[in-house]
Amino acid sequence: MPTTTRAAVLRHRGAKRPYADSRPLSIETITLDDPGPGEVRVAIKAAGLCHSDLSVINGDRPRPLPMALGHEAAGVVEALGPGVADLAVGDHVVMVFMPSCGHCSPCAEGRPALCEPGAAANGKGELLTGRRALHAGEEILNHHLGCSAFAEHAVVSRRSLVRIDADLSFEHAALFGCAVLTGVGAVVNTAGLRAGQSAVVVGLGGVGLASVLGALASGASPVVAVDLSEDKLALARSLASEGVVQTVNAAAADAVDQVRALTNGGADFVFEMAGSVRALDSAWRMTRRGGTTVTAGLPPPEAALAVNVVSLVGEERTLKGSYIGTCVPTRDIPRYVALFRQGRLPVDRLLSGVLALDDINAAFDALADGQAVRQVIQF
């Protein structure tokens, strides 16, 4: 039998701020189809608010509407569709916003973050299985990145789930599906940073601060954090013993020069996590000769970066994109959870607060204003 659930639905993009007044997300009772072949129904227990959600609301990342939003979550398996034999009802799971088919060229090369059918399904607002399982009356709703997690229940592809231990709190577990996979993965997988190499992180949202944690866990030295918010800079400094994380306010006219001075002429790796072309340009200029600039930020699709080709060649510079931290979710989530349990990856420090689904619009105001790192809806 189909299931009804409360969910946050986006019907129009580009709403005026404050969102607490314009209420771009309406809390609606919608219907979920039973899970089909290769699908699972999950009772969502916690879902994180991410800039990727905000970019759909404000129109920077166009997605097919109407859409049930949300992509970073953890929950409990409620029902299994035909053919799902490696999960059981009651299992705890983390959602991953890029499902991987396991058969396309990137998947065959061990790069599931670049799964071609997964990317196509996400762009269409479908599940990896090729269908939409959400309805508002007779109206079909689109899925957000195969998850639609701002809801009490969700139907997703089995390929969008990673099983976790039942003793991990849902509020912390949710962060591993996006912020941690993307931020830590950019350091560990995309960059391959080694102990003793220097790291700079530009943009200290949830993903950026996760990158700082990843750099610390990898033994980077020095680690420099860059942001416009003094509160976020203070949080970055507090993630390690005194003096280990150095900070620079991006508003300073000489911010690039300060970073270059702290890193002996430029860093081995600079991670741009702000989703801004200006931030990426600064990150490029903070990188040393022979160094690597990694970006996981997602500015509007029309954004473009001008790169000095002579510097690219003559200085053997590298500019790399990183999507979901170049992750292999079934490998990386258990590894990162293990580091969290060991105290080497204090993901819990990224949690800004817990809220109810009905408070979601005001929470996106706080995110847009830079007042929060990771807020989590608790169900």
Model confidence pLDDT, tens digit, residues 5-30: 999 999 999 999 999 999 999 999 99
User: Cα–Cα distance between 32 and 310 in angstroms, integer?
Assistant: 55
Instruction: Give the number of C-alpha atoms closer than 13 A to the C-alpha of residue 308, restricted to the C-beta side.
Output: 10
Provide the pairing of β-strand 374-378 with 39-48.
Answer: antiparallel
Whole-Å CA distances, 297 to 240, 300, 352? 24, 10, 21
Which three-class secondary structure string do you get for 168-234?
Answer: CCHHHHHHHHHHHHHHHHHHHHHHCCCCCCCEEEECCCHHHHHHHHHHHHCCCCCEEEEECCHHHHH
pTM of the full structure: 0.96
Residues of the chain where predicted confidence (pLDDT) is lower than 50: none
What pLDDT sits at residue 243?
Answer: 82
Q: Which of 196, 235, 238 is nearest to 215 (CA)?
A: 196
CA torsion 123→124→130→134, rounded to 10°? Answer: 120
Q: Output the CA angle 297-301-306, nearest 5 degrees.
A: 75
User: Cα–Cα distance between 352 and 372 in angstroms, integer?
Assistant: 6
Tens digit of pLDDT for each residue in 352-373?
Answer: 999 999 999 999 999 999 999 9
What pLDDT sits at residue 242?
Answer: 78
Residues 6+ apart with CB under 8 A from 359: none
- Residue 167: Cβ within 10 Å count: 7
What pLDDT sits at residue 148?
Answer: 98
Q: Which of 52, 41, 65, 7 is nearest to 377 (CA)?
A: 7
User: Cα–Cα distance between 202 and 280 in angstroms, integer?
Assistant: 8
Tens digit of pLDDT for each residue in 139-167?
Answer: 999 999 999 999 999 999 999 999 999 99
Helices 277-286 and 255-262, interaxial angle, to 10°? 40
SS3 272: strand
**DSSP type of residue 26:** E
Amino acid (one-letter) located at 80: L
**DSSP type of residue 151:** B
Tokens 């690039």 sit on residue: 256
User: Cα–Cα distance between 337 and 168 in angstroms, integer?
Assistant: 9
Whole-Å CA distances, 182 to 96, 189, 304, 318, 322? 11, 10, 22, 19, 8
Is residue 153 within 8 Å of 5, Cβ to Cβ?
A: yes
What pLDDT sits at residue 241?
Answer: 83
What pLDDT sits at residue 1?
Answer: 66
Residues 6+ apart with CB under 8 A from 204: 212, 225, 226, 227, 229, 232, 233, 235, 236, 273, 373
Tens digit of pLDDT for each residue in 278-294?
Answer: 999 999 999 999 999 99
Token pair in block for residue 209: 């601060």
Q: Output the CA angle 329-333-339, nearest 5 degrees.
A: 150
